[in-house]
Amino acid sequence: MPMSVAKKVLFLVFDGLGDRPVPELGDLTPLEAAATPNFDAIAAKSICGLSNALGRGIRPGSDVSHLAIFGYPMEQYYTGRGPIEVAGLGIALQEGDIAFRGNFGTVDENWNILDRRAGRIRVVDEFAAALDGMEIDGVQVLVKPGTAHRAGVVFRGKGLSANITDADPHAEGLPVLEVKPADDSPEAAFTAKVINKFMRRAYEILDPMEANAKRKAAGEFPANFMLLRGAGIYPTLPKFAEKYGLKACCIAGGGLYKGIGAFLGMDLIDVPGATALPDSDVKAKFIAAKKALGDYDFVFTHVKATDSLAEDGNWAGKKDFIEKCDAAAAELLDLPEDVLLVVTADHSTACELKAHTADPVPILFCSPHVRRDEVVSFGERAFSKGGLGRMVGSDVMPEVMNILGRLHLIGA
Ligand code: ZN
């Protein structure tokens, strides 16, 4: 029988998985304390190590750490959170688009902010549709509803710049700020002018809408203003499939992570029950990921709650959730031999600090084609003895390509 090689990749990211020793857990981390027989079995068939997405001593945000792990350095490709979030809402961004995260909010007639989330309005489709397609000085405005009060807003046209100041004062009771250019370029001046006009027109359209009259009559905050933040320009960017020759998809519950997949040109696969919360149907995600390996070469699967629970300092919840994920990982024990399984995290989130830290995270490559090491348990300290040693985010995709036998030869 001819030797096979790994051809496909299931790439699993547990957000904020790494942690610090917890006294109540006998000085184990939540991951070390959790019973993880399935991931232990996977680790035993893997080469293991520790990784810092952005290098030692750097506390990464989730957006830039994912970009680094996928081989897109932030210096070159990160221009703000706007383009990533907006990509996840299904707007196909074009080079030069300026994208924002938007909130439907409530202002009074003098544009003092009464509520930054329009009373946590739940559905904004009608309001987004009323603004979508507007044109201002030759610039097209795209507005797509997000979850609850959120929306994605894109300005598309020639000569735009993301180098402008924020309109959002980030507090209630303060007036909306006039957007100003943040440099001397004509592009920044033009963009600031267009956005100020957009905010005026949006208010004039939204405030008199019948749906808002009803909200006011019911004593609710009207959705009469669009607060914009997180401006970024969609950069010239090689899609993941072009960069690596791997047809890729993304399975995630959280908007930011769908956004990362879409930003890199991955197809988004929706899984019912994938909520990005501790109640998320992780098993359904793993089953969907296995199925997606039929159509895709690279399946990025993201699990969020490991991070959110640690952000709440909830070490017991994080341990329990890891055990739930481990039970779901029974689905991953019988992957075909040509599938490389990668399991890692974007950063550590320490329960004791309720924050991301620069502590390295576990990473494993599971395949019959790797040199297995002695590690047989899934945990931070066990992985410090693994065969991969210490890595950084930019090492990860080259390692994947190496295992697939797809790295170009350097020299002769
Ligand atoms: Zn994260």
**pLDDT, tens only, 367-408:** 999 999 999 999 999 999 999 999 999 999 999 999 999 999
Q: How far is the CA of 111 from the centre of ligand 1 (A)?
A: 35
Are 307 and 316 in contact, with CB atoms under 8 Å apart?
no
Q: Which residues surround ligand 1, an ion (CB under 5 A)?
A: 15, 62, 307, 346
Are 151 and 198 in contact, with CB atoms under 8 Å apart?
no
Which amino acid belongs to residue 175? P
Q: Is 279 exposed, middle or buried (0-12, 13-18, 19+ CB in 10 A)?
A: exposed
Q: What is the pLDDT of residues 15-36, one digit of tens each?
A: 999 999 999 999 999 999 999 9
Strands 298-303 and 267-268: unpaired
Task: Give me the helix-helix angle, 255-263 and 62-69, nearest 10°.
Answer: 40
Is the pLDDT confidence value at 2 over 60? no
**Strand partners for 377:** none
Q: How far is the CA of 64 from the centre of ligand 1 (A)?
A: 9
Q: How many CA atoms lie within 13 A of 232 on its CB side?
A: 21
Q: Write down the pLDDT at residue 323.
A: 98
SS3 category, 330: helix
Q: How far is the CA of 302 from the centre of ligand 1 (A)?
A: 10
Are 346 and 60 in contact, with CB atoms under 8 Å apart?
yes
Q: How far is the CA of 356 from the centre of ligand 1 (A)?
A: 8
Q: How far is the CA of 5 from the centre of ligand 1 (A)?
A: 31
Q: Write down the pLDDT at residue 3.
A: 67
The Cα-based distances of 381 to 20, 43, 180, 195 in angstroms read 10, 13, 50, 51
**Percentage of residues of the chain with pLDDT beyond 70:** 99
Is the pLDDT confidence value at 1 over 80? no
Per-residue confidence at 4, pLDDT binned at 50, 70, 90? Answer: confident
CATH architecture of 8-77+237-403: 3-Layer(aba) Sandwich (3.40)
Q: How far is the CA of 383 from the centre of ligand 1 (A)?
A: 20
Q: Write down the pLDDT at residue 412.
A: 85
The Cα-based distances of 330 to 33, 194, 273, 287, 378 in angstroms read 19, 53, 18, 10, 14
- Give CATH 3.40.720.10 domain extents, the chain: 8-77+237-403
To 5 degrees, how large is the angle CA 264–CA 265–CA 268?
105
